[in-house]
Amino acid sequence: MRASKILRWVLLLSGGVTAINILILYFCPVLIPAANFSVVRLTFVGLLERRYGYILISALLAALILGGSVGVKKNRVLLPCLNLVLFLGDLIGAGILFAVNLLNGLVNTLPLSSGVVDMVVVVLSVLYFVQRTKLIRQNKNEAQNI
């Protein structure tokens, strides 16, 4: 279960960086790379339009990422599955934004670094779910043989 340990630490690191980025962005406009880009964008829009509901949603998404790390540690399925959906959506959004910026002649590293972290989390999540299904099948076969 090496993939689950790596996934747990990557989710913990990504959720921590995202939560710290929300706090830093609230007080001064500095962005930390490798944070979840969708959450950062939602926080930025919430601060610009003075809609603090967006910031609350951003904080809940950061808590979801951190909770996914706990879910992986306790061998749960729901929170890692929700994290997989969140990171797939973030990967698509960051990829589209990076492609649009690249076509306009700009190179923005924030979507690029977020996309790399998203790809790592997606691959590790798929490996985690494959290992879980193999373990469930193995336990089911052992129960039938007894």
Question: What pLDDT digit, counting tens, does each position of 4-40 carry?
Answer: 899 999 999 888 888 888 888 878 877 777 678 888 8
Six-digit token string for 27: 């007080």
Number of domains in the chain: 1
Q: Residue 56 belongs to what domain range?
A: 2-145
Residue 1 predicted with pLDDT over 70: no
**Each residue's pLDDT tens digit, 45-64:** 888 888 888 889 988 999 99
